[in-house]
Structure 1
């Protein structure tokens, strides 16, 4: 057998093995994909390794975390994986703002390989429950834009914000110490709340460089990837390579969005003041923004850019397939409970998706199923996963008795 034939047989064998590892009947939507950053020196397979399924996603507030949560739930759903879910009294989050604890996890889901949701991160407690090869990921957003979003989202529930004349963000940032109530119930939403979510002291002086450096070092040691909201698609490409996932696995529709008419562009002065008020968060964000681009450089900026283009094209194609030119977004109050995003108190309208009545016309069963799943916000998908897992757990218990 000459060298050329042996080489072709090797290619066929590798392709066949990888197809078996990456074929999931209800998840396959994109076919014949050529990835920009191949794991092999040839572009004939998505990845040479099985998909990594032991994943902990630490969901932070107002950072596109709900979009990520929905994507993680869909991945678990498609691959028939068990997700660790909170007990009923904790609702969707793991009894946030309390530190994460095993007692906040539904006992029937403790065998899960995926953990995703709001929590106040306790590294040792999470590691005690998750498999040793778990990959930890999270997401951060620029504190300027983040604080603006948080101010309007949590305004009706935070005394620190409500006490500002006219409920003005500019008024609060003009003299935040005047309005900040450190001991109020929801004070964690009013200063350095990414720092708080990661289990650290939101009120610790940012001038304590030793504290900041130790915090950054601990985060680096724990998290294999810190995604950046402003570079969400680039982050997803890095995530795909880190977990050996396929392009189908990182498809998403944006979730938990404010109505565009309620958003205003922040002035550079307000952005600067918001970053200064949230100085610990700013240190975190700047550090891990740079870290993301180091990972992109390691993969190759050109190939990451090509994968981003392919991802966006796939999303555009899926949007057209699911909505057939109709307006996809609706206010939460106009959406039925089966796919309604959570609507906070106050005047901020959160938007969600509604499929047209004839959306299934001309679509394969696979695409129809993907359309139905990809529009589900994280909170709805968690309830759906919880119900299906409870039924499986009950069936196993009955078999054992």
Structure 2
């Protein structure tokens, strides 16, 4: 009986040992395949974004063997001493020491080895069309990759080369993202021959309403202050001959002015308008749609061969105002007085839809993921505890579109920085890089 009991006990022990071995094997297999170790998925966002941690907590992960080529969940796979970006197209090696501003800028260091990133870019910063958010993204990209960003001596616009801050002889500019009026010859004079143009447009009615409140309240624009505050937008739309007489203003055909339309053209001259729009389309790599900003950025990321870390953003330069609803008669009147803007918006919306209609389902999967990612970044960056704590990180897991990266509290401050202070910091960086007084 004792011998039989011993045999039964031995069989049970063998069974449990074999079971544990199987579990350890499955766990190891999951780790090797997906870089996941003891992680529980609680929701869509939780499976994508890990909980925030202090940078010290990842020190053990940083000590991985150099032979381990698989990415960690949130640690840069490059050597800590390797500060040069992995770029080959349009990029010159930095000729100056990294500035203190660059050192502080650690935005979303990614582990995905991308070559041939497009780095010579002109962005047409259209007024009140989400363009400050895109400008901020381009400024951060330029800092991250040690690029020369075109800057004016003062203010936040550039319309002549005489106002441009000079760079060291033998170098070239890389990024242009200031308010200006589009002119191909002017843009060609600023950047290397292989630069690309990108732009953005916004639904004209919502753009006009936003611009009217913004320029009245923030910049105290004279003609807008003369419009009665009661029924402000309605008065502006219904009585343009009294309050908004010129063909180009902050609230009338603004996008057309920024894109280089001529005030001499008749708004009913469909042939001239169509010809110019076709020219713009041939000269711009891509024109984003503000109402489809996430789809636009994912598509742009693929065009420029950028990483997801490069297109992160927080909404900036928003100006809250009371909602406004125009009746059909008012909408028709606005369409007549600002028909150039409607022509531009409808033209590039059609082009945009044509471009994304042929994309694979993978594109839409990435857009869904990116929307969730932006929500996670926004939540992290708007938590005061994360901004106050040093070394606080939001760790982002690897996906089929990108490897792991992290966002720091410092990144949040750069993403939320207003345009004028950001440009001033860039001017200081520019002076150090090019030995300017």
TM-score range, shorter chain: 0.7 to 0.9
Q: Does the residue aligned with 1:227 lie in a helix, a strand or coil?
A: strand
Equivalent residue runs for 1:41-80 within 5 Å? 49-80=115-146
- How far apart in 2 are the matches of 1:386 and 1:321? 29
1:322 to 2:388 alignment: no
- Segments of structure 2 that go 5 or more residues without pairing to the other structure are 1-69, 72-76, 79-84, 89-101, 396-405
Aligned to 1:173: 237
Equivalent residue runs for 1:165-314 within 5 Å? 165-166=228-229, 168-182=232-246, 188-202=249-263, 204-259=265-320, 262-269=321-328, 270-300=330-360, 302-314=361-373
User: 1:211: Cα distance to partner?
Assistant: 1.5
C-alpha offsets along residues 58-104 of structure 1, whole Å, 9 cap, x if unaligned? Answer: 1010000110111000001111111011122xx1111xxxxx22112
Equivalent residue runs for 1:135-154 within 5 Å? 135-154=196-215
Aligned to 1:378: 419
The 1:196–1:26 alpha-carbon spacing in structure 2 relative to 1, beyond 3 Å, is same
Residue in structure 2 matching 1:111, options 147, 162, 172 = 172
- How far apart in 1 are the matches of 2:251 and 2:378? 36
Q: Does the residue aligned with 2:288 lie in a helix, a strand or coil?
A: strand
Q: Does the residue aligned with 1:59 lie in a helix, a strand or coil?
A: coil
Paired residues, number? 328
- Segments of structure 1 that go 5 or more residues without pairing to the other structure are 1-14, 32-44, 95-99, 327-353
Aligned to 1:21: 86
- How far apart in 2 are the matches of 1:232 and 1:359? 31
Q: Does the residue aligned with 1:133 lie in a helix, a strand or coil?
A: coil
TM-score by length of 1: 0.73
Across the aligned residues of Structure 1 and Structure 2, the Cα RMSD in angstroms comes to 3.2
Query: Residues 84 and 111 of structure 1 are in contact (CA less than 8 Å); yes or no, is this contact kept in structure 2?
Result: no
- How far apart in 1 are the matches of 2:332 and 2:184? 31
TM-score by length of 2: 0.67
Pair member with larger Rg: 2
- How far apart in 2 are the matches of 1:370 and 1:22? 21
- How far apart in 2 are the matches of 1:389 and 1:130? 16
Query: Residues 322 and 359 of structure 1 are in contact (CA less than 8 Å); yes or no, is this contact kept in structure 2?
Result: no
Aligned to 2:13: none
User: 1:394: Cα distance to partner?
Assistant: 0.9
Q: Does the residue aligned with 1:131 lie in a helix, a strand or coil?
A: coil
Q: Does the residue aligned with 1:299 lie in a helix, a strand or coil?
A: coil
Query: Residues 198 and 288 of structure 2 are in contact (CA less than 8 Å); yes or no, is this contact kept in structure 1?
Result: yes
The 1:46–1:234 alpha-carbon spacing in structure 2 relative to 1, beyond 3 Å, is farther
User: 1:203: Cα distance to partner?
Assistant: 6.3
Q: Does the residue aligned with 1:70 lie in a helix, a strand or coil?
A: helix
